[in-house]
Amino acid sequence: MKLNSVRMSRPAAFIGIFASVLLLLNVLLLFRISGLQTQNKIWKTKGVLNLAEQRALVEHGLEGEYLGDEIELLRREGFRLLDDHVSKLTLLYSFTITCDRCLNMEMDIYQTNASMLDETHVTPLMVFGNIDQLLFDRIVRSFGIKEFSIRDKEEVLIKKFSKLTTPIILLINSNGRILAAHISDYFDRAKSQRFYEKVFNIASRT
Amino acid sequence: MYKSRGIISGYFAAFLSVFLIAQFSCDRKTAPSGAESANKKYLSLREGSGSKFGDYFSAGRKIALDLKDEIQIGPKPSIGALSRRGEFIILDSFGVRQILVFDTNGIYKTRIGSQGTGEGQYLYPDNMFLDQKTGRVYVSDGDLLRILEYDEDYRYLSEIALPVYIEQLLVTKEGRFFCFTSGSAGPDGADRVVYEFDRTGRIKNSFLRMPKTFVPAAEAKGGGMVHINDMFYIITPYEYTINRCNASGKVTAQVRIKTPFYTEMKMYADKKVETDLNERKRYHSTWSHIWWIINIGKDCLGVVYNEAGTKRYYLDIFTSDLDIIAHSILLPNLIATPHAIHTAGNDLYWLEYINSDGIENIAIAKYSFRYLHNSPMPVREEVETQ
């Protein structure tokens, strides 16, 4: 075989290099397009509500809702604490033990406001779901909330609010109607305090 | 003929260059930083070759905490650190919120800081680090997002604002601050596991990405990092892969392990997992969570995980070269809280509930590690180097 039989001709080599440069440019263009697509996705999500806005929407949706059936179910579980509920406003805490930080924070804020709740005749009732008896006993003892805490074995409130894994606090009237709702956010302590101010406002008007 | 050959070779060269560029950019996007050159290993440990706890650890004495009447311990206490004087520092972040110091016999000595928002106070002290060189204690407050620094006599010195909620704090002997987080997003939305920050709380570096299999519905506490011979050994709760990194975050070795009692995380089919608490609980019970990574002995490390859907915890032990020493060691009863197991040298400590005269009390259980470096590897293993 002759050596020059495997050598490229000059125009062919030129076309080859030109084609490779062209292809490289195409690829760069593709990268640019994919970058633009990502940016486009970000712009699209601008229309989606952030977590705080979603929480506010759920809270607003809960207000006015009837919780009498759940209260009746809890009463049937044998919680005598609910007997006092008929004549008073109740601040119902639903704790699913999924976030220690959230529970700790809400307890801290509760302790700050406990005396004010007492003055405005709002009865606290703390319902714990997703928890075994031993841990429940230890938690209520260490927070000093034994007198008004119950362990919801049937998970009545979890079934009702299964989509919400963070603590929920609800102000309910004697008819079982939710007057105000709060979903805990451990990045925003002030939000919890604002909720208590709302509770005191409602309580002082009724 | 020559012309077509030229075009073909040109196109071939172009494809080759495109392929190489694509490979390069792909690696940069998916692999952990620096992992391209890491020594990767896959260990598959056979069923039935598990080790017994007593073969590797000898039981020491149990030290019951002598709690005075006025001291109440919360539901999830853990050992925060052992001071240079041998005192036990108990972190009680949940419920009572306190940091208690007990002497070597379990007698109460003092408290570090107090509950509150003022100087030297905390609301959720869920993690701490004791610098063995200076004796200084660093407590991270998960509620107020700050680190409190105390001297060896537990006097408050200063505070550092935290850039992110952290699950584990580590201060190197050079005084560099590193933190571990297994959450879904860091301070800048980055999916990194380890952050280095300075004394002003500014992030200096972040490294090691979350596993590709991670989804927010799988979020769990666990995993962590240990620092042995100037190298970090890091693991997330979501996959049994130990990464060895240097202080700048470059992965120098990586080992993926399969053991008889570890079930890998699977992706869920039912979208309800994302919104329904009970479905999420069911999903989490289908895979094993990595709970802790611990430093045992001079330069060994251990990984603790649970058997899927149970409260049975197993320990695997490795050398610092990530070779297996023992695996599937069923741990005796312990209080499973973050950082429940504490190690100091050859000793392993954890808290246990005990019953004395019908009254529930807490005791510190101590076990000593007795692995000798020149002893043969006691388990069979299948090793595949990637």
For the domain that residue B194 is a member of, what is the CATH number?
A: 2.120.10.30
B320 or B11: which carries more pLDDT confidence? B320
pLDDT band at A82 (very low <50, low <70, confident <90, very high): confident
Identify which of B17, B76, B142 has the shortest CB distance to residue A24: B17
Picking from A38-42, A163-167, A200-204, B98-102, which range would have the lowest pLDDT averaged per residue?
Answer: A38-42
A99 or B181: which carries more pLDDT confidence? B181
Joined together, the tokens standing for residue B133 give 């060189």
- CB–CB of B3 and A15 under 8 A? yes
* CA B343 to each of CA B53, B137, B160, B221, B300: distance values in angstroms, whole numbers, following the listed order: 16, 16, 26, 19, 11
Min Cα distance B127 → chain A (Å) is 12
- CB–CB of A163 and B2 under 8 A? no
B12 or B139: which carries more pLDDT confidence? B139
Residue-level pLDDT at B28: 40
In-domain check, residue B174: yes
Taking only Cα atoms into account, the Rg of chain B, rounded to an integer number of angstroms, comes to 23
pLDDT at A60 over 50: yes
In-domain check, residue B165: yes
pLDDT band at B38 (very low <50, low <70, confident <90, very high): low
- CB–CB of A104 and B94 under 8 A? yes
- Each residue of A14-31: pLDDT tens digit? 888 888 888 888 888 888
Residue-level pLDDT at B5: 60
- CB–CB of B6 and A8 under 8 A? yes
In-domain check, residue B109: yes
Between helix A189-205 and helix A100-119 the angle, nearest 10°, is 30
Strand pairing of B57-64 and B168-171?
unpaired
Instruction: Locate the DSSP E strands across B103-145.
Output: 108-111, 114-115, 121-122, 125-130, 137-141
Mutate to test the interface with A, among B18, B117, B164, B277 (most CBs of A within 10 A): B277
CB-CB contact of B47 with B260 (8 Å) = yes
Domain that holds residue B327: 37-385
- Each residue of B337-359: pLDDT tens digit? 656 889 998 899 988 888 777 77
- CB–CB of B281 and A130 under 8 A? yes
Residue-level pLDDT at B24: 46
pLDDT band at B18 (very low <50, low <70, confident <90, very high): low
Mutate to test the interface with A, among B5, B11, B165, B311 (most CBs of A within 10 A): B5
- CB–CB of B13 and A16 under 8 A? yes
CB-CB contact of B84 with B75 (8 Å) = no
B262 or A86: which carries more pLDDT confidence? B262
pLDDT band at A42 (very low <50, low <70, confident <90, very high): low
What are the domain boundaries of chain A?
Answer: 8-45, 51-205
Picking from A80-94, B36-50, B247-261, which range would have the lowest pLDDT averaged per residue?
Answer: B36-50
For chain B, how many structural domains are there in total?
A: 1
Q: What mean pLDDT do residues B232-241 have?
A: 95
Residue-level pLDDT at B154: 97
Residue-level pLDDT at A33: 81
- CB–CB of B75 and A142 under 8 A? yes
Q: What mean pLDDT do residues B126-154 have?
A: 94
CB-CB contact of B109 with B103 (8 Å) = yes
pLDDT at B372 over 50: yes
CA B381, B211, B332, B96: dihedral to nearest 10 degrees? Answer: 160
Residue-level pLDDT at B34: 43
- CB–CB of A9 and B7 under 8 A? no
Chain centre to alpha carbon of residue B266: 21
pLDDT at B9 over 80: no
Q: What mean pLDDT do residues A86-109 have?
A: 86
Mean pLDDT for chain B overall: 83
Chain centre to alpha carbon of residue A197: 21
The candidate with the shortest Cα–Cα distance to B99, out of B120, B114, B84, is B114
Q: What mean pLDDT do residues A148-156 have?
A: 89
pLDDT at B26 over 50: no
pLDDT at B30 over 70: no
In-domain check, residue B23: no
Residue-level pLDDT at B87: 96
Q: A12 — contact with chain B (CB < 8 Å)?
A: yes
Identify which of B7, B25, B124 has the shortest CB distance to residue A15: B7
Q: B277 — contact with chain A (CB < 8 Å)?
A: yes
- Closest residue, chain A, to B12 (C-alpha): A20
Residues of B in contact with A23 (CB under 8 A): 11, 14-15, 18
CA B52, B54, B57, B61: dihedral to nearest 10 degrees? Answer: 140
Min Cα distance A205 → chain B (Å) is 33
ipTM of this complex: 0.72
pLDDT band at B25 (very low <50, low <70, confident <90, very high): very low
Residue-level pLDDT at B3: 53
- CB–CB of B277 and A158 under 8 A? yes
In-domain check, residue B168: yes
pLDDT at B40 over 70: yes
Close Cβ partners of B94 (under 8 Å, ≥ 6 residues apart): A100, A103, A104, A139, A142, B74, B75, B76, B126
- Each residue of B145-187: pLDDT tens digit? 999 999 999 999 999 998 888 889 999 989 999 999 887 555 5
CB-CB contact of B29 with B22 (8 Å) = no
Residue-level pLDDT at B31: 41
Min Cα distance A143 → chain B (Å) is 5
Name the CATH architecture for the domain at A51-205. 3-Layer(aba) Sandwich (3.40)
* CA B243 to each of CA A171, B38, B249, B341: distance values in angstroms, whole numbers, following the listed order: 49, 9, 10, 21
The single-letter DSSP state of residue B302 is E
Q: What mean pLDDT do residues A158-177 have?
A: 85
pLDDT at B333 over 80: no
Residue-level pLDDT at B80: 93
Residue-level pLDDT at B32: 43
